[in-house]
Chain A
Amino acid sequence: MSVRHSLLALLSGGAMHGYGLKTEFEAATADVWPLNVGQVYTTLGRLERDGLVTAEADAEGQKVYEITGSGRDELRHWFETPVPREVVPRQELAIKLVFAMRSGTADVAAVLQRQRVATVRALQDVTRLKAAAESSGDLAWLLMLDGLAFQGEAEVRWLDLCQARLAQAQRPAGQAPQRAEPAERAAERSGL
């Protein structure tokens, strides 16, 4: 998460105090990523050092921050540049599966199923927040929740494939899967 660019984005709408930036940031992300006020001031100090913002004291002696032309260029560049994807993210779940497979003692299918239930439960929570965001018309928050929902979906689909591959690997060679295909096909024919 780029606090630096998020602060520049908030300042592009007008000058603000450090504390106001913290509150606005948290409101925009519905408190999912709380910001430490120290982190805000450290980042503002660096932005000022790099000439991306200026700071002036108001009548009460508090610093008001304003974005500069270079700051706007930096922000535009951020919007124009795709976020780099880690090719192999260090993901705890993937690591757990690798070692569950290697251990020879873990019930890998049970590991997969427990994770699937947990991930779908988290996805249900995201969906409830989405329904609320839709009613309140909070589009930016809704887009973020959609992102979380798609990440959850990707994980569940991956778990499904892991389970199918595991079942395939455990079947004796040449044995067809024990699936109830006739019922499913009959159901499709009847339209259900």
Chain B
Amino acid sequence: MTVLEIDRAARVYGSGRLRVTALDGVSLRVGAGEFVALMGPSGSGKSTLLRLAGGLDRPTSGQVRLAGRDLASLDEAGLAAVLRRQIGFVFQEANLLAGLTAAENVALALELDGVKPKAAHAGAHGLLDSLGLGAVRGRFPAQLSGGEQQRVAIARAVAGGRTLLLADEPTGALDALTGESVMSLLHQRAAAGCAIVLATHNVRHAAWADRVVFLDDGRLAGETGPQAGPECLLGTVR
């Protein structure tokens, strides 16, 4: 099932001599359980593409469809409701609320979806347990390591069965080992059916994705196709 469909999207900022084409007719389709990484130099259009995918910006031309629905067809309230229920965001900073525990941060996302507080807390506990974060659910953000904070932020982003997770450099501030644990968690969420789009400069982290898409100057510059499997690598090493 296709979760996100971006069809020949272009985004132009400014006009006349100040006109800048940030994205130039890019198409991308991401299915349920598919993990796609976007790579490219600064200014290649990765963040613009994520903003369009997340409904935070609208394309100058082309379409962005979420579960088959054109985001441009929704009014502001309708768009906000779709985004809140279906899309989770993760950034370089975890941005957890400092006055709430890990579980309360996750439960808040569920309560905003209309889940009753008791059920939201039970849901948050269950989700954190399933992600191997049960031990830290009662801790406040200041009592968590950077990696733990980011993993709680991912839990918050996928709470309530959101179908699409958009992550912009989520490992940028983490050391190598902690970065690996965050990528491993994203990989698990994709295996559980969540569609994931990750923008990153780190190719080792992009390599956790099923498909790596390269952007350059606002255009698609290539992508890794269907995988031949690890045997291919072993053949190369031999």
Using a CB–CB cutoff of 8 Å, the interface residues on chain A facing chain B are 31-34, 113-114, 116-117, 120-129, 131, 134, 148-150, 152-153, 156-157, 160, 164, 177-184, 186-188, 190-192
Interface centre among A114, A179, A183 (most CB of B within 10 A): A183
Interface centre among A116, A124, A156, A181 (most CB of B within 10 A): A124
Given contacts A180-B21, A182-B13, A184-B43, contact A152 B187 (CB under 8 A): no
Cβ–Cβ contact B229 & A125, under 8 A: yes
Main SS at interface, chain B: mixed
A94 to B210, CA, bound (A): 28
Determine if B110 is an interface residue (Cβ-Cβ < 8 Å): no
Cβ–Cβ contact A113 & B203, under 8 A: no
Please, could you name 24 A-B residue pairs with CB atoms under 8 Å apart, sorted by A? A32-B234, A32-B238, A117-B214, A117-B222, A117-B223, A120-B206, A120-B212, A122-B232, A123-B203, A123-B204, A124-B208, A134-B184, A152-B203, A153-B204, A160-B41, A164-B41, A179-B42, A180-B13, A180-B44, A182-B13, A190-B51, A191-B91, A192-B56, A192-B168
Cβ–Cβ contact A183 & B89, under 8 A: no
Across the A-B interface, how many residue pairs have beta carbons closer than 8 Å? 132
Closest 3 CB pairs of A and B: A179-B43, A180-B22, A183-B22
Report chain B residues within 8 Å CB of A125: 227-230, 232-233
Number of interface residues of B (CB under 8 A): 53
Given contacts A113-B222, A120-B212, A190-B56, contact A129 B51 (CB under 8 A): no
A44 to B45, CA, bound (A): 57
A83 to B147, CA, bound (A): 33
Cβ–Cβ contact B51 & A187, under 8 A: yes
The chain A residue sitting closest to B42, CB to CB, is A184
Min Cβ gap B50→A in Å is: 6
Given contacts A134-B184, A192-B56, contact A181 B20 (CB under 8 A): yes
Report chain B residues within 8 Å CB of A121: 224-225, 227-228
A128 to B11, CA, bound (A): 35
Task: Kindly identify which residue among B14, B50, B207 contacts A123, using a CB–CB cutoff of 8 Å.
Answer: B207
Cβ–Cβ contact A187 & B47, under 8 A: yes
A124 to B37, CA, bound (A): 11
Min Cβ gap B3→A in Å is: 19
List 6 additional contacts besides A126-B230, A149-B207, A178-B217; criterion CB under 8 Å.
A120-B207, A125-B228, A125-B229, A149-B204, A180-B43, A188-B47
Given contacts A190-B56, A192-B56, A192-B89, contact A183 B20 (CB under 8 A): yes
